[in-house]
Amino acid sequence: MNIDRAHTSDQACRITAQPVVAIVGATGAVGAELLGCLERREFPLRYLRLLASPRSAGQVMRFRGFQLQVEALDEGSFADVDLALFSAGSGVSKRYAATAVKAGAVVVDNSSAFRMDPNVPLVVPEVNAEALNSHRGIIANPNCVATIITVALAPLHRARRIRRIHVVTYQSASGAGALAMEELRESTAAFLRDEAYEPKILPHPYAFNLFSHNTDIDPETGYNGEELKVIAETRRIMSLNAPIGITCVRVPVLRAHAIALTIEFDEPFPTGEARALLESAPGVRVVDDRAANLFPMPSDASGGDDVLVGRIRTDLGDPSGRSLTLFAVGDQLLKGAALNAVQIAERLLVDRT
Amino acid sequence: MNIDRAHTSDQACRITAQPVVAIVGATGAVGAELLGCLERREFPLRYLRLLASPRSAGQVMRFRGFQLQVEALDEGSFADVDLALFSAGSGVSKRYAATAVKAGAVVVDNSSAFRMDPNVPLVVPEVNAEALNSHRGIIANPNCVATIITVALAPLHRARRIRRIHVVTYQSASGAGALAMEELRESTAAFLRDEAYEPKILPHPYAFNLFSHNTDIDPETGYNGEELKVIAETRRIMSLNAPIGITCVRVPVLRAHAIALTIEFDEPFPTGEARALLESAPGVRVVDDRAANLFPMPSDASGGDDVLVGRIRTDLGDPSGRSLTLFAVGDQLLKGAALNAVQIAERLLVDRT
């Protein structure tokens, strides 16, 4: 990464009040949600530029009643851009983010390209917004699982120090993109018609099936790339040294991730106190109705901004009473991606605090 | 439970070589699999009696090329029965199991009615077959999750003492019966046609959705009935005092349960040794190909007898190296229910050891 414009003062870290905004990867699953978030949240932009691969150029997308044409991304795309929201994969971010910064834009990058770069803040606004003050042009938007975990755990970590986290995920198709969501629908329809279906996007049958996350396995630890990302990013966002154990699994759900969390604290944590902290935490909605057996579900989280948290219990696996267990569900495309990126951008606007 | 026939000697615990067998609940999801297991495993029976509620009486089911008619269950159903396989829910077991024993039958009960009764052995043959020697007419077939867990963990527990278990489940529709499986198919088809669907069997939408297990919640601990059963039964089958933390979730999969397990042992457990022990363990098939990213999946476990075990790793959440993490998948209707019941019965046959 080569950024030749230094953002040294707080003021330099801000975006102009009515920025020109570009979305890189506008036609993808997250790109479409970025448009939706900017519109719905009335983001005060002057102009919106939609960028994508040459293959998608010419497509028309609606924004605030206008028809915007998608342009092919190239070196000259960022001439007048103040804010560039990247969501076109690591390769595109590595190739074009520095170009955008050099042209004067602040980049909020949804890929994993810069997430562990010490010069790039990795931000969940509810958790570590202060990290935005030291950005140098690029801000990384975290892995969707890490975002959901940190939104749910930060309010608890502020009350008792976290000593260990155990994570098991139920990840939806959207994390693998729009084509994976389509593959889940199509392969399920074929299954119900008793027809064969050859997976094209994902490596395993997906209809009424689940499988270990399809990122490469680290030969030394046996953990897959997704698991190692979640560990590293969760620790970085929360400034945490605690060890994290994790298993990431894809389930046949369309667009919200569910996560079973067990957290060991440095002292006992009464569930009533944890619940109260979560109820007043930004970005969290407690769904924990034991009598009605109603807890967080992807069907309730999909399309919503909040991370739903429930099943707040003392872990029966830890007789010391220092461990809690929770079940959190968040929309992978919104808080797990597009919404968090737009929330980061909102914090950067000059006229907001 | 009132059993007036004492089974005091080893011999008295056995079933005659060519028994008359009854299936109670023959038309249910597990009932149909019991027929399949008896046929496929060439269980040496003299005659098979199919029993069910009056509503299902008269239905015809195929067995070894014969057409067998389902009879309505009543007090006189067990006159000549040597072995009764019950799978019609706790209520039916509580009402009729003692009747069957009084009539001279040995009962293998798939419900939860007697599982924690100290006079009733709770048996997974690969794990604690010796408990069969002291039965008094009724043997309990464990909860499907407990069966899968104990098959996977017993070979490891024999090598290092288990100190703690952490369980997170991905449970299929079959655990809630044949109608729940049908509801998953129907509601998913409706979802794909963009039509509304009112759940009838399960309390929440199931198409491309997941939810916390729909058993009642214990108000004191916040754990649901399924979770408390798995804890109690796993400890009983393995004669284990270790604490168990657990979260049970239903996922939109038709008939195999997946389970993420983290196990703390009393000393470090090299993964190579764990893998070798699992590879030679009865009832286990190791599926753990890191290069091909191939691990246990419901689609591979469904219809098969083995519990698939993979993702054998040292838990990164425990820096002491004493914890392993695994992913196990087993067919809920087979090893989780019908197959285990028939395997118990096989151990009881006079002419087998």
Instruction: Annotate A241-276 with DSSP letters as a single string.
Output: ---EEEE-EE-S-SSEEEEEEEEEESS---HHHHHH
β-pairing, A211-212 with A284-286? Answer: unpaired
Digit-coded pLDDT (tens) for A60-81: 999 999 999 999 999 999 999 9
Rounded to the nearest angstrom, the minimum Cα separation between B341 and chain A is 26
Residue A242: which residues within 8 A CB-CB, separation 6 or more? A162, A163, A164, A165, A235
Amino acid letter, residue A2: N
Rounded to the nearest angstrom, the minimum Cα separation between A151 and chain B is 20
- Looking at residue A352, its pLDDT comes to 46
Q: What is the mean pLDDT of residues B243-265?
A: 98
- Read off the pTM: 0.94
Reported residue count of chain A is 353
- Looking at residue B12, its pLDDT comes to 54
Residue B10 clears pLDDT 70, i.e. is over it = no
Q: If residue A339 lies in a helix (H) or strand (E), which one and from where to where?
A: helix A339-348
Question: Which residue carries 């994993």 as its tokens?
Answer: A112
Question: Which residue carries 């994390």 as its tokens?
Answer: A175
Digit-coded pLDDT (tens) for B219-230: 999 999 999 999
B positions 241-260 inside 8 Å of A (CB)? 243-247, 249, 251-254, 258, 260
Count CB pairs under 8 A between chains A and B.
177
* Residue (of A172, A186, A94) closest to A140 by Cα position: A94
Mean pLDDT, chain B, integer: 94
Question: So which residues of A are the catalytic ones?
Answer: 144, 257
Digit-coded pLDDT (tens) for B287-298: 999 999 999 999
Beta bridge pairs of residue A139 = A108
Calculate what percentage of chain A has a pLDDT beyond 90.
Answer: 93
Residues in chain B with CB shorter than 8 Å from the CB of A299 are 204-205, 208-209
Residue B122: which residues within 8 A CB-CB, separation 6 or more? B115, B116, B128, B131, B139, B140, B142, B233, B236, B237
Digit-coded pLDDT (tens) for A247-305: 999 999 999 999 999 999 999 999 999 999 999 999 999 999 999 999 999 999 999 99
Interface membership of B163 toward A (CB under 8 Å):
no
ipTM: 0.94
Amino acid letter, residue B267: E
Q: How far is CA A41 from CA A147, A167, A242, A343, B332, in A?
A: 20, 32, 36, 9, 46
Nearest chain B alpha carbon to A316: B245
Q: How far is CA B144 from CA A56, A293, B81, B213, B265, in A?
A: 49, 21, 26, 14, 24
Interface membership of B190 toward A (CB under 8 Å):
no
Q: Is B7 an active-site residue?
A: no
- Looking at residue B351, its pLDDT comes to 47
Instruction: Annotate A1-45 with DSSP letters as a single string.
Output: ----S---STGGGSB-SS-EEEEETTTSHHHHHHHHHHHHTT---
- Looking at residue B167, its pLDDT comes to 98
Q: How far is CA B128 from CA A190, B241, B330, B347, in A?
A: 42, 16, 19, 12
- Looking at residue A12, its pLDDT comes to 55
- Are the beta carbons of B205 and A251 separated by less than 8 Å? no
**Other beta carbons less than 10 A from residue A64's beta carbon:** 11
Structure tokens that stand for B324 in this block: 């392993």
Between CA A168 and CA A173 the distance in angstroms is 16
- Looking at residue A4, its pLDDT comes to 30
Digit-coded pLDDT (tens) for B38-57: 999 999 999 999 999 999 99
Residue B6 clears pLDDT 70, i.e. is over it = no
Rounded to the nearest angstrom, the minimum Cα separation between B282 and chain A is 24
Coil, strand or helix: which one is A85? Answer: strand
Between CA A190 and CA A114 the distance in angstroms is 39
Interface membership of A262 toward B (CB under 8 Å):
yes
- Are the beta carbons of A297 and B251 separated by less than 8 Å? no
- Are the beta carbons of B317 and A290 separated by less than 8 Å? no
Q: If residue B152 lies in a helix (H) or strand (E), which one and from where to where?
A: helix B144-157
Rounded to the nearest angstrom, the minimum Cα separation between A166 and chain B is 7
